[in-house]
Amino acid sequence: MNLDLLVAILMTVAGAATPLLIAGLGELVVEKSGVLNLGVEGMMLIGAVTGFAVATSTGIPVLGALAAMGAAAAASMIFAVLVLTLMANQVATGLALTIFGTGVSALIGAPFVGITTPTFGTIFPEALTASPLLRLVFGHSPLVYFGLILTVAVAWFLNRSRAGLILRAVGESDSAAHAIGYPVLKVRYLAILFGGAMAGLAGSYYSLVLTPMWAERLTAGRGWIAIALVVFASWRPGRMLAGAYLFGLVITMELQAKAAGFNMFAPELLAALPYLATIAVLAIISAAKRGGANAPACLGKPFRAAA
Amino acid sequence: MFETNRRRLLAGAATLAATSVVGLPARAQGKDKVKAAFVYVGPVGDYGYSFAHDQGRKFLEKELGDKVETSFVENVAEGPDAERVIRQLAQGGNDIVFTTSFGFMNPTLKVAKQFPNVAFDHATGYKTADNMGAYNSRFYQGRAVLGTIAGMMSKAGQGGYIASFPIPEVVMGINAFTLAARAVNPDFVTKVVWVNSWYDPAKEADAAKALLSQGVDVISQHTDSPAPLQAAEEAGVIAFGQAWDMSSFAPKAHMTAIVDHWGPYYVDEVKKLLAGDWKPRDIWWGMQEDILEMAPFNDAMPDDVKAAAQKIVDETKAGTYEVFTGPIKNQAGEEKVADGEKIPDGDLLKMDWYVEGVQS
Amino acid sequence: MMLAAPVIAVVLTLIVGAVLFTLLGHDGFGAVVEIFVKPLFNLYRWQDLLVKAAPLAMIATGLAIGFRANVWNIGAEGQYILGGLAGTGVALATLDMSGSWILPLMLVCGILGGMVWAAVPAILKTTLGVNEILTSLMLNYVAIQLLFYLMRGPWKDPEGFNFPQTAMFSADQTLPMIVPGTLIHLGVPLAAAVALTAFAVMTRTITGFQIKVVGLAPKAAAFGGFGAASTVWIALMAGGGLAGFAGILEASGPFGQMVPQFPTGYGYTAIIVAFLGRLNPLGILAAALVLALTYVGGESAQTTIGLPSAATGVFQAMMLFFLLATDILVRYRVVSGRAAPAPKAAAAKEAEPAKGKAVAA
């Protein structure tokens, strides 16, 4: 395999993995705080359409990405108010958020169908991307680097910072955390807000970087894959990074194999593989760690302040 | 009864290429105004297949003015939902209902039986009834133009083809593209990547990138999003639009596009209803009848390529060029079609084998 | 208040929907009238509503049994597909046979197909403690790929011009119409019967009591000898079985064959229906009709006032948002009752369905 091909493959892997990583890290923090938000796909679509609309209107892609984060974070607040303040069921509310995001993004996006947008360039000077190996290091969209930095930041936050410790405590035992005096609802509000912003940013990665356009259901179900990856990663940022890139690698290698003329698998089996693997990982870690699976103990449960 | 319909279609297709009249006239007297309804499988905002049908609807409104009133329902799932929508449209006083996706075939047939006084037209299927016609476009004629351009402009002699599902229409398109490309460059190879989706922009873009890294310098697609074009634009190679002129997404890469121009057929059908001589037809039209067009050629295309591409268009319209003319070999190099023979329509419509030069 | 919350939610949806769509440049009031009012005055639309509502009600009934026991099966979509596939397998094997035994066999296999698919999360939950929300969700995607594979390969109609779908079912494999000359097939009364039976089971039998107790007070349930594992099994078998049943009823009824487009999100919509119906089988019947109304009316609104199809989704989401929000009204009375003597408050708190609780791990 020649170097150019190898670099091209790895670049594609990074491109495919990055939005899943960013949205997944957001959802990971949400779930670590004890909340399950199934609205990732809806928030990604809201982010994708808002990012596209703002970028085409202003001509500045960065503004688009920021607006995408803001709009999706706003949408996540609908979810937060319902499940935290009004203690609504998280599964149902998350599903409703996805349905909402799908519909609203289609309505907002109608005038933006059929046009393209200014996109993010690379951040490094052209000279640094001249050779294949340099391109592999410096030739990516800024969001690819952001994804890597975010992984480190989230890992540090959860494992090393005091705030992260509180967040995990809230996710493991909300009543105990409350008894100690931690603001359970505030922590969860902030976590959901962060998750929303990251989902929005991931959505804008599709409409501004990977496929600079808007069309209904642009993200084609990637939000659900991000949720699956959080579980696959057993709620650890490092494994989230590995999982997202592994997923990107599998997808890319499948396409590469087909392009090279190898069609050895039933494509359906390959498409089902990430989900089967996630179930297998869940089963294995649950078996190894009877009863826990590293899942935050309060995941999905509402919190009532009065104990 | 489906059996007879299938045989009838095959027999009809074998003897009479384009038009076979099925059944008896359902309605005799003319009308002052026709209400026409359209059922789409995707959103009109897909900028692909359903979008093109909706442009046909708009063309119909423009051509016939106040003689026609149209409406549409988008995002209709194929199955019982479609049946409900079609029935609702039939009950809603529409004179004709166009159902524009293959999966609407059986629902359309069911409703057609219940509403003998309403006309139905179903796209890309094979069943008809006394008040239900079938229509389809010879998309492969456009693929032959794309293949000619690809064969002449590709330096690598390799084209990438992003395909959705291995149904006959897609297989036919891959074969037509490859045959035309090999007619100008006998060593041309078409590398096919199946993405198993009609619409998944991210995956289509990644498929294009995979093909590009394997050395192809032409991208063609039978999926609905402009994502492969954008990937081609970024890589500086050429590509073609799908269903509609997509040059706005890739001004440099976009050489031309197969434009699904359903409008003239819709006008023809409604005019027949107005005149009172509508009969269900089973038509497979193409460039000759103007329901298939090529988008304007890109200025970057060399003159000899433009001329060769235009020649294919002109000869197709004149009826002197047919891409599926022998000798045609299959992938194993065995001769499937003898010199000078043409593949009959009935065989094309269920094509499931690839010609030599297709790598899939 | 049990009744008031859904009614308030629907009314709020209508008002906010009208305002929102007016702001978006559509005919907001017209949209509400077209979607929610006009279909109710048309006998044909009522047939559509019943046919569309039947599978939703049936799936939601099964899910509600699980939700009440705090078992969060969100894999009904996959179980619905497997039910359809299992019945289709029977149909394809008996395509050249005739006999009145074929259709019942298809229906039974459909139920079993859904149950088998739901058994995977049940086994993982009861033996390893794996979260059933996640496993059942993942299996939806696996089921879709299995469907695609069968349609593209082994089950493709040999005379279907190489299109990926099965042959049409024979007359002996197709659901009969209950009311001649209408669209009301056998699945409609079956869905109603299932919901009524579930209502009776939940209110009148030990099993129903067990499910409720396990959901409301797991510790008390264990004390009373009700096993958590058996409850998980009951919940998932009810959910999977009914989703599978709905699947084969759709396949052998309105579809009359199996196609790749078979799954249209009923499994997810049914979750909304279950909540809109407040996890009560009778409420679910009403909720299924309301949801069906948004689809049927939404289609009308597209043709009459050109409302985009995306609007239907926005209305559905708003309705669920408002219902979940107004739920607090029901709960608020309970919380305010905490000032009352302790035993009563505790009892009231326990009695309130623990809707939000999902058992992790």
Any A CB within 8 A of C346 CB: no
In the predicted structure, residue A263 carries a pLDDT above the cut 80: no
Of B37, B81, B165, Cβ closest to residue C164: B165
Write out residues 274-313 of C within 8 Å (CB-CB) of A.
Answer: 275, 308-313
Q: Which residues of C touch B84 (CB under 8 A)?
A: 48, 51-52, 296, 299
DSSP letters of B174-220? HHHHHHHHHHH-TT-EEEEEE-S-S--HHHHHHHHHHHHHTT--EEE
Q: B39 has which bridge partners?
A: B73, B99
Q: For residue B213, give the nearest of A5, A113, A217 by CB distance.
A: A5
A302, closest residue in chain C (CA to CA): C356
Cβ–Cβ gap B37/C168 under 8 Å: no
pLDDT at position A150 over 80:
yes
How many independent structural domains does chain C possess?
1
Output Rg (C-alpha) for chain C, integer angstroms: 21
Binary contact (C152, B83; C-beta < 8 A): no
Q: Do B102 and C163 touch (CB under 8 A)?
A: yes
Does residue A68 register a pLDDT over 70?
A: yes
Residue B191 to residue A261, Cβ atoms within 8 A? yes
Least confident of B41-55, C42-56, C96-110, C334-348: C334-348
Considering only CB atoms, which chain B residues are within 8 Å of C294?
none
List B135's β-bridge partners, or say none: B123, B283
Which chain B positions have a beta carbon within 8 Å of A114's beta carbon? 47, 248
Of C317, C335, C356, the CB nearest to A89: C356
Burial A209-240 (b: 16+ CB within 10 A, else e): bbbbbbbbbbbbebbbbbbbbbbbbbbbbebb
Cα A217 to the center of its chain, rounded Å: 16
Coil, strand or helix at C132: helix
B166 touches chain A (CB under 8 A): no
CATH code of C192's domain: 1.10.3470
Please give the average per-residue pLDDT across C208-219, as a whole number: 71
∠C91-C96-C100 over CA atoms, to 5°?
65
Cβ contact C163–B167 (<8 Å)? yes
- Select from B75, B102, B126 the Cβ nearest to the Cβ of C309: B75
Give the gap in angstroms from C-alpha C158 to the nearest C-alpha of chain A.
Answer: 20
Judge whether C318 is closer than 8 Å to chain A, CB to CB: yes
The reply to whether C105 touches chain A by the CB within 8 Å rule is no
* Integer angstrom CA distances of residue C121 from A297, C196, C359: 19, 27, 13
Cα gap B90→B97, rounded to integer Å: 7
pLDDT in tens, C107-121: 999 999 999 999 999
pLDDT score at A157: 97
| pLDDT(B19) > 80 | no
Residue C184 forms contact with A (CB below 8 Å): no
Nearest CB neighbour to B167, from listed C164, C264, C309 = C164
pLDDT digits (tens, 9 = 90+) for C268-292: 999 989 988 888 999 999 999 999 9
pLDDT higher than threshold 80 for residue A177: yes
DSSP classification of residue C331: H
| Residue C287 counted as domain residue | yes
Task: From chain B, pick out residues whose CB is under 8 angstroms from the CB of C168.
Answer: 2, 106
Count CB atoms within 10 A of the CB of residue C346: 11
Query: If pLDDT is split at 50, 70 and 90, which confidence band does C60 have?
Result: very high
Nearest CA in chain A to C147: A268
Percent of chain B whose predicted confidence (pLDDT) is above 70: 92
Neighbours of chain A (3+ CB pairs under 8 A): B, C
Residue C79: is its pLDDT beyond 80? yes
Residue of B nearest to A268 (CA): B196
Lowest pLDDT segment from B5-14, C1-10, C137-146, C236-245: B5-14
- What residues of B are in contact with residue C163 (Cβ under 8 Å)? 102, 167-168
Q: What is the pLDDT of residue C1?
A: 53
Q: Do A100 and C313 touch (CB under 8 A)?
A: yes
Cβ <8 Å between C124 and A231: no
Contact call for residues B284 and B13 (beta carbons, < 8 A)? yes
Q: Is C358 contained in some domain?
A: no
> Residue A4 — pLDDT band, cuts 50, 70, 90?
confident
Give the closest-approach CA distance of B28 to chain C in angstroms.
27
Residue C360 lies in a domain: no
Chains A, C: CB contacts within 8 A come to 173
Asked if B252 has any chain A CB less than 8 Å from its own CB, the reply is no
> Chain B contacts of C256, Cβ < 8 Å?
106
- Contact check, Cβ <8 Å, C296/B84: yes
- For chain B, the average pLDDT equals 89
List CB contacts (< 8 A) between B89 and chain C. 303
By mean pLDDT, which of A2-16, B308-322, B323-337 is the weakest? A2-16
Residue with tokens 């166009």: B98
pLDDT at position A267 is 77
Establish if C13 belongs to a structural domain. yes
ipTM of the prediction: 0.87
Maximum mean pLDDT: which of C46-50, C131-135, C344-348: C46-50
Cβ atoms of A25 and A238 closer than 8 Å: no
- pLDDT value, residue A288: 78
User: Does residue C45 sit within a domain?
Assistant: yes
Q: Phi then psi for B19, rounded to 5 degrees?
A: -120, 120
What does the pLDDT read at residue A117? 81
CB pair distance less than 8 Å for B79 and C306: no
* Alpha carbon of C311: minimum distance to chain A alpha carbons (Å): 6
Cβ contacts below 8 Å, chain B against chain C, sum to: 87
Q: What is the largest CA-CA distance in chain A?
A: 64
* Digit-coded pLDDT (tens) for B151-182: 999 999 999 999 998 889 999 999 999 999 99
Judge: C129–A93 Cβ closer than 8 Å, yes or no. no
Contact B126 C161 (CB under 8 A): yes
Residue C357 lies in a domain: no
Query: In terms of residue numbers, what domain contains C85?
Result: 4-351
Q: Say if C19 falls within a structural domain.
A: yes
Q: Looking at beta carbons, which residues of chain B come within 8 Å of A215?
A: 45-47, 199, 201, 225
CA distances from C21 to B73, C172, C199 (A): 18, 47, 38
Which of B5, B57, B84 would best serve as a mutation to test chain C binding (most C beta carbons within 10 A)?
Answer: B84
A220 to B205: CB separation less than 8 angstroms, yes or no = no
Whether residue C361 and residue A292 make contact (CB cut-off 8 A), yes or no, is yes
Out of A130-144, A263-277, B162-176, B294-308, least confident range: A263-277
Alpha helix positions (H), B201-302: 201-213, 227-235, 263-275
Residues sharing a CB contact under 8 Å with residue B121, sequence separation 6 or more, in sequence order:
B96, B97, B98, B99, B132, B133, B134, B135, B269, B280
Predicted pLDDT at A103: 92
Domains in chain B, ordered, with CATH?
2-137+261-289 (3.40.50.2300), 140-259+294-354 (3.40.50.2300)
- Residue A272 vs residue B16, higher pLDDT: A272
More confident residue, A268 or B73: B73
Give the pTM. 0.88
**Residue A15: which pLDDT band, with cuts at 50, 70 and 90?**
very high
Interface test with B, best of A20, A44, A116 (most B CBs within 10 A): A116
Question: How close B201 gets to chain A, by Cα (Å)?
Answer: 7
Q: What's the rounded mean pLDDT across residues C344-350?
A: 38
pLDDT tens digits for B178-228?
999 999 999 999 999 998 888 888 899 999 999 999 899 999 999 988 999
Residues A43, A97: contact at Cβ < 8 Å?
Answer: yes
- Quote the mean pLDDT of chain A: 89
Q: Grade residue A207 by pLDDT with cuts at 50, 70 and 90.
A: very high
pLDDT grade, residue A291 (50/70/90)?
very low
Query: Do A220 and B207 count as a contact with CB atoms less than 8 A apart?
Result: no
User: What chain B residue is nearest to A248 in terms of C-alpha separation?
Assistant: B206
- Chain B residues within 8 A of A202 when measuring between CB atoms: none
Residue A141 has pLDDT above 70, yes or no: yes
* Residues 50-69 in B contacting A (C-alpha not used; CB under 8 Å): 51
The sign of the CA dihedral C236, C238, C239, C242 is: positive
Q: Among all residues of chain B, which has the CA nearest to that of A19?
A: B202
Higher-confidence residue of A50 and B48: namely A50
Q: Which residue does chain A place closest to B251, by CA atoms?
A: A116
Which pLDDT tens digit goes with each residue over C231-266?
Answer: 899 999 999 999 999 999 999 999 999 999 999 889
- The answer to whether residue A125 scores a pLDDT higher than 80 is no
- Would you say residue C356 lies in a domain? no
Contact A306 C338 (CB under 8 A): yes
Q: With cut-offs at 50, 70 and 90, classify the pLDDT of residue B28.
A: low
* pLDDT more than 90, % of chain A: 57
CA torsion C16-C19-C20-C22 (nearest 10°) is: 160
pLDDT at C334: 47
